[in-house]
């Protein structure tokens, strides 16, 4: 079979084609590589396209299929954000610091997907070291939004979100420290999910802020999201924060419906600053949920208002420590022309890091320095405890909380690059889930002037099933997720 139209194809759709032998994984992979080639010049969602690796993995997948040993992801073309280590394949983190870095090992999820027979078509673009909300901080190139090429795809997983929206792969994996999976998913009209902190091993994920980083899927719909999470979650001793819990098949409980399901709508997530038409879409989405039998009530999470401030102390502090390893000695960019070791170190970091990364390192170093530590870092940790407690209380009363993912739809490239604070404000509704360590998902929740809006759900720790249940019910009652950009 040739000339297969891959637009909007889901994992289940592809699975059927593969299992019924209508298509081999080699053919399916070729179809995606052709699509990538055709539109990549416009979208720029890849740092590296790995055609050769993909072709080899597709042959392996076809062998598994012919032996009847396939799993749900066998033969499925996918992408990994370029901050996941991939053995023998360039892993840049979209930074000059790592522009030539070829890891000698695979991250946990890379290894997992390989062994399941998934097919990696390439590595997705991101804001340098995952710091940003538009992918414009990538030192390689900015990615464009498939719905409107003059607009940003969001960030930092802008490459993965754009690639899934543009059907350049069936799913992608991203990392979410303050919203980096959900906000770009919302801007690109796809499903983006951040699991409970510790559910997916981060071994081999290039660290940004270790008490916040979490890995999750970007997919076309909620079922695919549940399927991918079921495959990548689970204990790994190489990540000391990995949770040793039983992983259910998240796709099994999707259809339980919303009868009597308790949904809280926190007032603080409808503040000034939210675009009126985004608010309108989300309010409409909430009434759809009510129509499906959910018990919806307004609630209040007053400490959520401090989450952004807390994040911009904790995340840069951890980043400043994590990024101290880039010293030009062990690996990565290195200035070898300096007279002294110190000068070499300074120049390496001067040239290797972009402006946003330097800003974060300076902020973090300042917040951690003696004399300021108590006033900033310690205080932020205390407020973090309050935010966490407030969510715990809320989930005694509600199964999930519903709110917008981002205060606006995708903005124009260049609109916010001169104003870091405006950029930071994009994540005001996503950051609280990272601060509290709880799972959250963004699903397509409508369109405003042709641009996707994201509806977000949060649930209590390890309550992913409830999250998927709510998201699935909403998705089935709407058709936003079936729409694809005209690329
Ligand atoms: N946009 C946020 C930041 O710049 C979140 C990034 C992320 O989740 N990796 O830090």
Ligand 1 atom closest to 155 (CA): 1
Q: Give the pLDDT confidence of 66-84 residue by residue, as tens digits.
A: 999 999 999 999 999 999 9
Å from CA of 156 to ligand 1 middle: 6
Model confidence at 273, in pLDDT bands (50, 70, 90)? confident
Cα dihedral sign for 319, 157, 34, 25?
positive
pTM of the shown model: 0.98
Mutate to test the pocket of ligand 1, among 127, 160, 411, 456 (most ligand atoms within 8 A of CB): 127
Provide residues with CB under 6 Å of ligand 1.
130-133, 156, 176-180, 208, 315, 427
* DSSP letter, residue 329: S
Mutate to test the pocket of ligand 1, among 130, 185, 213 (most ligand atoms within 8 A of CB): 130
Å from CA of 178 to ligand 1 middle: 5
Model confidence at 2, in pLDDT bands (50, 70, 90)? low
- Do the bridges between strand 262-266 and strand 295-299 make them parallel or antiparallel, or are there none, so unpaired? parallel
Ligand 1 atom closest to 179 (CA): 8
Residues annotated as part of the active site: 81, 156, 180
User: From edge to edge, which strands make up the β-sheet containing 119-124?
Assistant: 46-49, 119-124, 77-81, 171-176, 214-219, 191-194, 440-448, 451-459, 400-404, 262-266, 295-299
* DSSP letter, residue 379: H
* Residue 327, C-beta contacts closer than 8 angstroms, at least 6 positions apart: 345, 348, 349
Q: Give the pLDDT confidence of 152-187 residue by residue, as tens digits.
A: 999 999 999 999 999 999 999 999 999 999 999 999
Q: Quick one: angle between helices 51-66 and 25-43, nearest 10?
A: 150
Å from CA of 134 to ligand 1 middle: 10
Asked whether the beta carbons of 229 and 223 are under 8 A apart, the reply is no
């Amino acid at each position: 079979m040739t000339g297969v139209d891959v637009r909007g194809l889901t994992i289940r759709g592809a699975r059927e084609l593969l299992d019924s032998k209508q298509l081999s994984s080699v053919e399916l992979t070729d179809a995606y590589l052709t699509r990538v080639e055709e539109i990549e010049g416009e979208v720029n969602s890849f740092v590296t396209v790995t055609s050769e690796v993909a072709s080899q993995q597709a042959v392996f997948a076809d062998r598994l299929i012919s032996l009847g040993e396939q799993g749900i992801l066998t033969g499925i073309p996918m992408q990994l954000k370029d901050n996941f280590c991939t053995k023998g394949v360039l892993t840049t983190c979209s930074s000059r610091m790592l522009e030539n870095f070829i890891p000698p090992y695979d991250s946990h999820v890379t290894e997992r997907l390989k062994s399941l027979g998934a097919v990696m078509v390439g590595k997705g673009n991101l804001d340098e070291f995952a710091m940003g909300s538009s992918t414009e901080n990538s030192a390689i190139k900015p990615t464009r939004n498939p719905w409107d090429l003059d607009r940003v795809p969001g960030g930092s997983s802008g490459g993965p979100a754009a690639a899934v929206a543009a059907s350049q792969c069936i799913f992608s994996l991203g990392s979410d420290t303050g919203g980096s999976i959900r906000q770009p998913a919302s801007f690109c009209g796809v499903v983006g999910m951040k699991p409970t902190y510790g559910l997916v091993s981060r071994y081999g994920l290039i660290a940004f802020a270790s008490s916040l980083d979490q890995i999750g899927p970007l997919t076309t719909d909620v079922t695919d999201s549940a399927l991918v999470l079921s495959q990548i979650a689970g204990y790994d001793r190489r990540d000391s924060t990995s949770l040793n819990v039983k992983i259910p098949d998240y796709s099994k409980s999707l259809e339980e419906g919303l009868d009597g399901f308790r949904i809280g709508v926190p007032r603080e997530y409808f503040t000034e600053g939210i675009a009126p038409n985004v608010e309108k879409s989300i309010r409409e989405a909430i009434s759809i949920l009510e129509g499906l039998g959910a018990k919806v009530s307004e609630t209040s999470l007053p400490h959520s208002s401090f989450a952004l401030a807390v994040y911009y102390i904790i995340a840069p502090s951890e980043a400043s420590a994590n990024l101290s390893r880039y010293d030009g000695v062990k690996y990565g960019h290195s200035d070898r022309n300096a007279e002294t070791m110190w000068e070499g170190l300074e120049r390496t970091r001067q040239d290797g890091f972009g402006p946003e990364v330097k800003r974060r390192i300076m902020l973090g170093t300042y917040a951690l320095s003696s004399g300021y530590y108590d006033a900033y870092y310690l205080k932020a940790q205390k407020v973090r405890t309050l935010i966490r407690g407030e969510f715990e209380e809320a989930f005694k009363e509600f199964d999930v909380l519903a709110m917008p993912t981002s205060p606006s739809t995708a903005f124009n490239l260049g609109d916010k690059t001169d104003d870091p604070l405006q950029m930071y404000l994009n994540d005001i509704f996503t950051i609280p889930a990272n601060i509290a360590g709880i799972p959250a998902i963004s699903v397509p929740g409508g369109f405003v002037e042709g641009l996707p809006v994201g509806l977000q759900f949060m649930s209590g720790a390890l309550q992913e099933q409830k999250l998927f249940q709510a998201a699935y019910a909403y998705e089935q009652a709407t058709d936003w997720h079936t729409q694809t950009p005209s690329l």
